[in-house]
Each structure stands twice: as C-alpha cells, then as structure tokens.
Amino acid sequence: MADSTSDQLANLDISEFDCPNLQRNLNILSPDYVDLAKMLIQNGQSHVFDEWPEPGVDDDEKLAFFDQIARLNSSYPGGLVQYINNAKELLADSKAGKNAFDGFTPSVPTGENLTFADENFIKYEETGVKEAKNAAFVLVAGGLGERLGYNGIKVALPSETSTGTCFLQLYIESILALQEASCRLAEGEPLKEIPLAIMTSDDTHARTLALLESNAYFGMKSTQVSLVKQEKVACLADNDARLAVDPQNKYRIQTKPHGHGDVHSLLYSSGLLNKWHDAGVKWVLFFQDTNGLLFKAIPASLGVSATKQYQVNSLAVPRKAKEAIGGIAKLTHADGRTMVINVEYNQLDPLLRATINSEGDVNCETGFSPFPGNINQLILELESYIEELKKTGGAIKEFVNPKYKDATKTSFKSSTRLECMMQDYPKTLPPTARVGFTVMDIWLAYAPVKNNPEDAAKVPKGNPYHSATSGEMAIYRAHSLILKKAGVQIADPVMHAYNGQEVEVWPRIVWKPKWALTFSDVKRKIGGNCSVSLKSTMVLKGRNIFIEGLSLNGTLIVDAIDDAEVKVEGSVQNVGWTLENVDYKDTRIPEEIRIRGFRISKVDQLEGNFREPGNYCLKP
C-alpha cells in the first residue's frame, strides 16, 4: 500500500465504514478512490458494495467501478453529493405530490406574433440576416431517440428524400448561407465565421463525428465546429436516492441521460461561451436534431431578438388548448418572484384551474390558447447569458419523474434519475431580465421527427404525427406555401395515407438554403406567371437560379455553381417522380426510407447542371 494511502486511511474514521465488503478491499484503492468510497458511505450508498467479493477477485472491475464514480462525480456541478442531495429533495417532493408551480399565478407574457410575408415579417427577416454574422448556433443532439427507434443517429436521417439531404447537412448549409448573406450585407467588414457547437452523448458522439468527417463537414471549416459531449447521470433505485447498481454488472452504476439542459453547463465549462464572446458573438441560437423547418423561422426570430433586445427569445407556434406542447407563460409568485417559462401542457391545465380560469386550458377569442406553444428553440443574448452562468455554472433546475409501483409511492417500477431541460434556463433569471417569445405559423417553423411509424399512426386525430412521414411532407408544404405567397400558382394538396398516417401531399418543392433564406430572396428569384402541378418535383440547388414564367408539370432539377446565373423558363412537361407506398415493416427496404411509408421512383426529369461560370437559360 502506498504511503499516502496509509495516511488517508489513518485519517478515516473507520467506524464510518460500516461496510465490511468495502473495508477488506480498501487496500487496492488509490487515495482519491478511498475519498470517493468515503463519500459514498457518508451519503447512504454502502449498498453498492453489497456483492463485492474478497480482494484478489475482480480487482480490475472494482477499480473500473471507481473510475465510473469519479466520472459521475466530476461531470455534475457540485459532484455526486450534490446530485444525491438534489435527488433526495426532488424525490420527497414527488412523493408528497408537491407542485413546482404552487404559489404562482400565470399570465400571458409579452412577445411578438408574426404573420408570414407581411411587412413586419419581412423587416424582421432583413434585420435577422444582418445580425446573423454575430450569432453562434448550438445543436443539441445527444438524445437517444427512443421514440423514433431509428438505428442510426437522428441528424443523419434524410430531412426529405427528393434530395436525400440529411438534417446535419441541412443545418450546416443553412448556417453557411446565413453567414454568406450576412457578411455580404456588412460590406467592408472582415468576414466572420458563424460557429456551430454540437452537444453529443456517448450514444451519438462517435457517429456524429464520423458523419461530419466523412462528408468534409458539409462544407463548413472543421475549426468552425465544436463537439461537446454530455455525460449520463446515475440512476436512483428508491426514494432515499440510493444509486442503482446495474443488474448486469455489480461493479457498475446504472446511468441514463440527464436531458438537454446539460447544454448550458457544458457550453460554460468548455470555455466556448467566452471564446465566442471574445470573437464578437452576440447571440446563441439553440436548436434540436430533427426540425427540417427551423431555418425558415430563424431570420425573423433573430430579427425580433435584435430589435427588442431580448435576453431570451423562445420560438413558439400558436397552440390549441390542451394540445400536447408546453405553453409559454409568465408566472408571478405570491412573494413577488416572476419568470417567463415553459409550462408543460399537463401542468398548465391544473395551474390555470387553480388560479385564473376555472375552465383550465381553453382557447381564447382567437381560437387558440392565449399561451403560445413552445417549440424549444431558443435565442439567448450572449453577454447576459455569460453573466448568469457565472452565478449558476450552468446548473439548470431539475425534475424527477419516477414510475411508482403503486399509490403508496414507496418503490419504483424501474430506476429513475434527475433530468433537466434547456428551456428551463430562464427559471433562475431576475425579474428584470428581458424574456420574450416569437410566434410563427407552425407550417413554417416546426415539424420534428420524433415518433416511429407504429406510434405515429396511433396519434389521436388532429394532433401532429411528428414522424419521418410528416416531417418530410411538412418541408414540401412549407416550400409550396412560400412560393404560393410569392405569386406562384401551386396545385392544391391531396390527402394520402403513408404508414397509416393521413398527410397532405403537396408538390415536392425543395431548395438549398443558399437559393433563398428569406421571403424577399424568394420574391427576387421568381417572376412572371409561374405554376406548379401536384405531380411535380422541383429542386433548386444554386444561388443564382431565376424562375421566369415557368409552367412545371413533372420534375425539374437545377444545379448550378455560384458563378453560374441560370434563368429557367417555359413549360416543363415530363412523367416526373412518383411516390410509391412502402410498408415500414418491409425490412428489405432501407430503414430511413421505410419509416416514411413511401419511396420516390425517379422516372423522368429535366435536369440542368451548370458547372462553369456564365449566364444560361434553361428552357425545355
């Protein structure tokens, strides 16, 4: 035994170690691990050594156990002791049925309600693009995606299958297009690179990195992208917050994800926030792994943040009463505290009933709930964000959601853990903080892919499927509606069922972010009388493609380098691409296709590829 270990042991009050299995193994532990052992015992965790055999048996595994404890201890703000204490408190509250919102009265906070394509919207989009060069983006992509059940990582899934562009590629190309457009507007100023941080976890890290590396970071400089990995937290076996030993391995504690709220402490502890601040970043935009529409909403929302100087801006959509998304509410406590925060839908109804409205969660005269629906995309003002994190270290208020065996709430069906959510960040802000929201049409802003086909098909009628099918169809619908607003005649959609889900099928229109980021961009690039039939597919992959009096009834693909200016006109008529139903259970078909319930049969198309600089006209 090393001398320092002997000293360490000498300092220990051995009577505290009422744990013979640990005591006889102390000799194999380093001083640091002895300290950890003591910490465990002192915090009611002696059961973790219950099955430990005598020294000489599985010694490597015993050390690996302490390696894990050391990791769990160092990755949680305040260490494992803090985690266990927080857990005891939250488990006691949960057992007592205590409501986190007791004493608070909700009211509707102030925010901006936008109408797509009106003057106000266009003005905000313009401001947002100007401001984008001062932004940094943060993608939270550490989630397991259990509900979707996809074998790969979610960001590798195609956002739509007309081009096969995966979510990560779409996000990166959107950021690069914003960077280019924003820097172009700031003529004379040095070019700025918009940083992207991606939060991964053990479940997603290696595959996210491999996806980036095998695709040359989708055109972004590798130095522009930072990966930060979240650690899991220990599972809890009972109301006394005893750590759950892995049933498969007595030398491991079971762990589970802590939730996307980890992003704040990781950004802080990694030093990224200060680095961005020094580089002149003013805004940090948080977004999630599978929302193919998000970047349609970013320019205007960032414009709102910049104009109103919001320290926190939550992107939101109109919410129908009782809809299963959280509502953004201002909560005022009897003691004077206030906060603007997301209230989960199952908490909103009882809170309203208990306070301002005996009918609970109901629509107002607009036909919607007065509380906007939170879509969990946040824009934070960096300066005040850093100031706040200096105080909190990025720790976010946690919650626990144990599944009890019975009404006595004395034991769990399976182990639980503490969780935290990124949108709970404003909970610790002072009442003077400028916290607002930006509401946008759901068709423009939100279509995540969260549910597997089987569960999506069971979603009650009228509620969103949030499946690969609905996510892809939402992209076509958004592009169709934007073009329609710009004056293009777009055929009406039809309803069709894929994988048991009835969805609106619009013409399959897709453009690269660099073709158009804002409504003004779209309008500049469309002229004359244009029409697109329902069977059509249109893919625009260049910055300088101009559509003039086009009548499209079939498939048109235009791909052009930045220095090629292409005018597309006339009447395009061909058999085009058709959608064929496929069954999600048909394992002969690749998973990323069959989970949509359709595959695209690329029969015929007019295709223009422009690889040399110059002016061109594409006419059938």
Q: Which is nearer to ligand UTP, 73 or 230 (CB)?
A: 230
Q: How far is the CB of 234 from ligand UTP (least distance, A)?
A: 14
Q: Is 140 in the site for ligand UTP (CB under 6 A)?
A: yes
Q: How far is the CB of 265 from ligand UTP (least distance, A)?
A: 12
> Quick check: 486 and 523 in contact, CB under 8 A?
yes
Q: What angle do CA 546, 547, 553 make, to 5 degrees?
A: 150
Q: Is 133 in the site for ligand UTP (CB under 6 A)?
A: no
Q: Which is nearer to ligand UTP, 242 or 450 (CB)?
A: 450
Q: How far is the CB of 317 from ligand UTP (least distance, A)?
A: 16
> Quick check: 38 and 73 in contact, CB under 8 A?
no
Q: How far is the CB of 81 from ligand UTP (least distance, A)?
A: 22
The gap from C-alpha 489 to its chain's centroid, in whole angstroms, comes to 34
Q: Which residues pair with 496 in a beta bridge?
A: 503
- Contacts with ligand UTP in 168-187 (CB under 6 A)? none
Q: How far is the CB of 29 from ligand UTP (least distance, A)?
A: 31
In the numeric block, which tokens belong to residue 337?
């505290």
Q: Which of 106, 109, 142, 436 binds ligand UTP (CB under 6 A)?
A: 142
Q: Is 259 in the site for ligand UTP (CB under 6 A)?
A: yes
Count the neighbouring beta carbons within 10 Å of the beta carbon of residue 34. 20
Q: How far is the CB of 262 from ligand UTP (least distance, A)?
A: 7
Q: Is 72 in the site for ligand UTP (CB under 6 A)?
A: no
Q: Which is nearer to ligand UTP, 259 or 402 (CB)?
A: 259
Q: What are phi and psi of 509, to 5 degrees?
A: -110, 125
Q: Is 205 in the site for ligand UTP (CB under 6 A)?
A: no
The window from 103-111, 139-147, 190-198, 246-254 that contacts ligand UTP (CB under 6 A) reads 139-147
Q: How far is the CB of 46 from ligand UTP (least distance, A)?
A: 30
Burial bucket for residue 324 (CB in 10 Å: 0-12, 13-18, 19+): middle
The window from 124-132, 134-142, 165-173, 364-372 that contacts ligand UTP (CB under 6 A) reads 134-142
> How far apart (Å, rounded) are the C-alpha atoms in residues 610 and 128?
31
Q: How far is the CB of 182 from ligand UTP (least distance, A)?
A: 25
> How far apart (Å, rounded) are the C-alpha atoms in residues 405 and 302?
46
Closest residue to bound ligand UTP by CB:
143
Buried/exposed code over 538-573 (b: 16+ C-beta within 10 A; e: otherwise): bbbbbbbbebbebbbbbbbbbbbbeebbbbbbeebe
The window from 160-168, 254-262, 567-575, 581-589 that contacts ligand UTP (CB under 6 A) reads 254-262
Q: Which of 118, 146, 202, 562 binds ligand UTP (CB under 6 A)?
A: 146
Q: Which of 80, 136, 199, 348 binds ligand UTP (CB under 6 A)?
A: 199
> How far apart (Å, rounded) are the C-alpha atoms in residues 23 and 119?
74
Q: Which is nearer to ligand UTP, 289 or 569 (CB)?
A: 289
- Contacts with ligand UTP in 394-453 (CB under 6 A)? 450
Q: Is 373 in the site for ligand UTP (CB under 6 A)?
A: no
Q: How far is the CB of 246 from ligand UTP (least distance, A)?
A: 19
Q: Which is nearer to ligand UTP, 210 or 497 (CB)?
A: 210
Q: How far is the CB of 581 from ligand UTP (least distance, A)?
A: 26
Binding residues with ligand UTP: total (CB under 6 A):
19
> Quick check: 554 and 603 in contact, CB under 8 A?
no
534 by DSSP, 3-state: which? coil
Q: Which of 260, 330, 514, 594 binds ligand UTP (CB under 6 A)?
A: 260
> How far apart (Å, rounded) are the C-alpha atoms in residues 24 and 381?
54
The helix-helix angle for 31-42 and 79-95 (nearest 10°) equals 20
> Quick check: 171 and 323 in contact, CB under 8 A?
no
Q: Which of 162, 288, 518, 553 binds ligand UTP (CB under 6 A)?
A: 288
Q: Which is nearer to ligand UTP, 63 or 227 (CB)?
A: 227
Count the neighbouring beta carbons within 10 Å of the beta carbon of residue 484. 15
Q: Which of 283, 296, 232 is nearest to 480 (CA)?
A: 296
Q: How far is the CB of 596 from ligand UTP (least distance, A)?
A: 18
Q: Is 141 in the site for ligand UTP (CB under 6 A)?
A: yes
Q: Which is nearer to ligand UTP, 37 or 140 (CB)?
A: 140
Q: Which is nearer to ligand UTP, 129 or 468 (CB)?
A: 468
> How far apart (Å, rounded) are the C-alpha atoms in residues 416 and 422?
19
Q: How far is the CB of 147 from ligand UTP (least distance, A)?
A: 3
Q: How far is the CB of 231 from ligand UTP (least distance, A)?
A: 10
Q: Which is nearer to ligand UTP, 12 or 324 (CB)?
A: 324
> How far apart (Å, rounded) are the C-alpha atoms in residues 498 and 14?
66
Contact code string over 213-232 relative to ligand UTP, x by CB under 6 A: -----------------x--
Q: What are phi and psi of 404, to 5 degrees?
A: -80, 150
The window from 256-264, 547-555, 595-603, 609-617 that contacts ligand UTP (CB under 6 A) reads 256-264
In the numeric block, which tokens belong to residue 489?
């005649």
Q: Is 576 left (phi over 0), alpha (psi -120 to 50) or beta?
A: left
| Radius of gyration over every alpha carbon of the chain, rounded to an integer in angstroms | 27
**Can you count the helices (H) and strands (E) in the chain?**
18, 31
The window from 66-74, 90-98, 146-154, 391-399 that contacts ligand UTP (CB under 6 A) reads 146-154
> For 204-317, where are the alpha helices, taking DSSP H only?
205-214, 262-269, 272-278, 294-308
> For 117-245, where are the alpha helices, taking DSSP H only?
119-131, 167-185, 205-214
Q: Which of 143, 158, 373, 542 binds ligand UTP (CB under 6 A)?
A: 143
> Quick check: 196 and 318 in contact, CB under 8 A?
no
Roughly how many angstroms between the first and final C-alpha of the chain, as a whole number?
85
The window from 35-43, 45-53, 135-143, 401-409 that contacts ligand UTP (CB under 6 A) reads 135-143
Q: How far is the CB of 205 from ligand UTP (least distance, A)?
A: 11
Q: Is 47 in the site for ligand UTP (CB under 6 A)?
A: no
> Quick check: 525 and 505 in contact, CB under 8 A?
no
Q: Which of 145, 292, 597, 608 binds ligand UTP (CB under 6 A)?
A: 145
The window from 4-12, 138-146, 317-325, 497-505 that contacts ligand UTP (CB under 6 A) reads 138-146
Task: Tell me which DSSP letter residue 593 carries.
Answer: H
Count the neighbouring beta carbons within 10 Å of the beta carbon of residue 296. 27
> How far apart (Å, rounded) are the C-alpha atoms in residues 509 and 495?
17
> How far apart (Å, rounded) are the C-alpha atoms in residues 289 and 536?
29
For ligand UTP, the binding residues (CB under 6 A) are: 140-148, 199, 201, 230, 257-260, 288-289, 450
